[in-house]
Structure 1
Amino acid sequence: MELTESHTLPVPQQRAWEALNDTAMLKACIPGCESIEADGENAYAVALTAAVGPVKARFKGRMQLADIDAPRSYTIVFEGQGGAAGFGKGDAHVTLEPAGDAATTLAYTARAQVGGKLAQIGSRLVDGAARKIAAEFFRRFGEQLGEQRDSGAAAMDESAGPATAENAANEAGDDNVDDTGSTDASQTRKRSWTAWISKS
């Protein structure tokens, strides 16, 4: 089986690279993923539940990152065992290229072999299941990146908001006074002093 696809991610290249190496992000995006844990240098132990046609099983496997060229590309070598359901193994070459200042094109070519019951159900069902899992992963991955980007922008706006308002008030000076009492401290003191003199 060979699968080649490309997707546009709504973040710069460096951020996309960091997300691809964030195990918490990957766990949240891989359908059926139960755990991803470090298992040596640039290697991870993975457990997930997947359904391929009539076969549904819990797979345990390992993936190793090789040919790392941060933040542009790497190769994932993977293998997994699903008990009576069979096994799967293969590799995927992943590349990241800038698509403007705030987007990245992710492309990959994956090759895999399956055995056991998985091999018996036919290549068409296996290919279809792989494409479905990949599509769901990238849907979730894009949504997660978009949410992080939006929340980061909102946090920046909130932190800049009060300072911007304060600077605007300072630049406006003492003449920028409204009738609701929203004045700066110096203008308030001037009014109080004038009222005290007039009463005297």
Structure 2
Amino acid sequence: MQFAMSMDLPAAPERMWGVLTDVKRISECIPGCENVEEIVRLATYKATVKQKIGPFKLEVPADIVVDEVVEPSRVGMHATGRDKFTGTRLSVALEVTLVREGHGAKLNVSAQLDVQGRLATLGMSVIKRRAEQNFQEFETRLRAVLETV
């Protein structure tokens, strides 16, 4: 499944870069993201993602690998994990870009999500709806963080 979101930011990419690469601050914007551990800055991380999707309550310990960093405009990463209760396997490839627009920037996030196992039986529409809700919540939380920058 493919997902994408974009939002206008109030400052140039150089100013926003510090917020977007501050793992503690950005992880607080991600719904259900907990126990974030930085192994190597801008390289490897661990986190747990908890979500309720349909009748399933997922708790996915995830390994996150940063594949590419182009400061201050792009981060590419992927994450994999397996829910310990349902055995559902999740894999996501994520690309985050900052593009200068006037005095500000545009944040673009695109994700390719692969779901295997019991959660996949719910069907793409249920999973997609939950992912879109998560993107909306992420944007709301990120905007609140950016107001303090």
TM-score (norm 1): 0.69
CA contact 1:11–1:145 (8 Å) conserved in 2: no
CA distance in 2, matches of 1:26, 1:79: 19
**Greater gyration radius:** 1
Partner of 1:142: 143
CA apart distance, 1:30: 1.1
| C-alpha displacement of 1:114 | 0.6
Contact 2:5 2:135 in 1 (8 A): no
More helix by share: 1
Which residue matches 1:124? 125
**Identical aligned pairs, as a percentage?**
25
Determine whether 1:5 maps to 2:12.
no
| Aligned ranges 1:38-53 → 2 under 5 Å | 38-40=38-40, 42-53=43-54
The count of corresponding residues between Structure 1 and Structure 2 is 147
**Which residue is 1:91 aligned to?**
93
Contact 2:59-2:85 within 8 A present in 1 as well = no
Q: For residues 11-67 of structure 1, what are the alpha-carbon distances to aligned partners after superposition, in whole Å with 9 as ceiling and x for unaligned?
A: 321222211111221232111222211123511101121111221121110111112
Quote the Cα distance in structure 2 between the aligned partners of 1:37 and 1:110: 22
Give the root-mean-square deviation of aligned CA atoms: 1.4
Contact 1:10 1:142 in 2 (8 A): no
If the length of structure 2 is used for normalisation, what is the TM-score?
Answer: 0.91
Structure 2: unaligned runs, 5 residues or longer: none
Please name the residue that 2:61 is paired with.
60
**Which residue identity does 1:8 align to in structure 2?**
D
Higher strand share: 2
Measured after TM superposition, the shift of residue 78 of structure 1 is: 0.9
- Higher RCO (CA < 8 A, seq sep 6+): 2
Unpaired stretches in structure 1, ≥5 consecutive residues: 150-200
